[in-house]
Amino acid sequence: MKNLKATAIAHSNIAFIKYWGKKDEKLHLPLNNSLSVNLDNLITKTTVEFSETFKKDQIFIDGQTVQGEKEKRVVDHLNRVRKMAKICLKAKVISKNNFPTASGLASSASGFAALSLASTKALGLSLSEKDLSILARLGSGSACRSIPDGFVEWYKGKDHQTSYAKGLFPPSYWSLSIIVLLIETKEKKTFSNQGHQLVWTSPFFKERLKNIDKKIFLIKKYLQEKNFLKFGQIVEDEALELHSIMLTSKPALIYWQPETIKAIKYIYFLREKGLPVFFTIDAGSNLFLISQKKDEKDLIRELKKEYSEKKIIINHPSKGAFLIKDYQVEGD
Ligand code: DP6
């Protein structure tokens, strides 16, 4: 039997306009379009091998076997791919992140993007970018945005077949720096899929949906014009709006740490000093700072006055998921 094995790399992405709230829980159909960029320094590498010698699916993430809900999500995804390929062999999945898992750095996005590409390829399927994005979405919504290159929009669509992500601009389109400021690196208590379910318990969610299309129109306009100040302001407003929904959900979701607020204030301070930098925050406490590449050195110098080098991860816009040749199985 031929080698049913493939390795893929995918990058995490950060949303400028967020996906928060689902029309369909199971299919991860979002209530609004979202916009993101792939991050070149937040990487997942996944090898998937199918074999008749495997008695059960084995999943290793960062050298550890995974169990419980995490294992189920991966096995469910493998089942989708096995169904598509009409093959029922068990698989070994070895996945590695170059960043802390479940720290709000979206390992599920790069994880399910890489898993989708590696597992389909291993079983001899060649999916189009659109179909791969649709498949990745079933693993984790935001994973569909880690399939295409660069600056990406995820169309909420009407149903399963019409909800997928598409590249708006290639990574080279705009020289931005996206700097992660790590506030904490331990496992989150509330995963984002539980948070999505609470959106309607916030009295502000309806208002958010009412205005979201206008916001998307504007951010695309500023992206098109490369108007950094207007672009950055919308991104920052959006992050605060997201967290206002979280804070007013029942039960309230408080992802921030005291250090998060301190960092926000520090960004305001830097901006007042004349450094054009904005932040966004996902379902976690870490900040993603957005600046233009030309200001990156100054920004890093300022950040290092307050934070150790270990807390700073520098990223630039990156391509989407791709296959690599890699014949090592265990550990590597
Ligand atoms: C706050 O994609 O993690 O990061 O579809 O349930 O897996 P599931 O949710 P997930 O949600 C991401 C939420 C967010 C915003 C965003 O990335 O757009």
DSSP string covering 145-166, please?
Answer: GGSSSSEEEE---SSGGG--EE
User: Which atom of ligand 1 is the closest one to the Cα of 139?
Assistant: 7
3-state secondary structure of 18: coil
pLDDT at 56: 97
Q: Which residues of 314-327 are buried (b: 16+ CB within 10 A; e: fewer)?
A: bbbbbbbbeeeebe
How many Å lie between the centroid of ligand 1 and the Cα of residue 4? 31
What is the token pair recorded at 40? 């070149």
pLDDT at 77: 98
pLDDT at 278: 99
For residue 75, how many C-alpha atoms fall within 13 Å in the half-sphere facing its CB? 13
Predicted structure pTM score? 0.95
Angle separating helix axes 129-139 and 107-122, nearest 10 degrees: 120
3-state secondary structure of 276: coil
Q: Count CB neighbours of 89 within 10 A.
A: 18
CB-ligand 1 contact for 28 (6 Å cutoff): yes
User: Which atom of ligand 1 is the closest one to the Cα of 140?
Assistant: 7
The identity of residue 41, as a single letter, is N
Rounded to 5 degrees, what angle do the CA atoms 96, 178, 101 make?
25
Q: Which residue has the least CA distance to atom 12 on ligand 1? A: 142
CB-ligand 1 contact for 145 (6 Å cutoff): no
How many Å lie between the centroid of ligand 1 and the Cα of residue 19? 6
Residue 22 host element (H or E) = strand 22-24
pLDDT at 328: 47
What is the mean pLDDT of each successive set of 10 residues along the chain, which is 332 residues long? 90 98 97 98 97 97 92 97 98 92 71 98 97 98 98 98 98 98 74 88 98 98 98 98 98 96 98 98 95 98 95 96 73 40
DSSP class of 187: P
Over the Cα atoms of the chain, what is R_g?
A: 19
3-state secondary structure of 198: coil
User: Which atom of ligand 1 is the closest one to the Cα of 36?
Assistant: 18
How many Å lie between the centroid of ligand 1 and the Cα of residue 26? 13
pLDDT at 326: 66
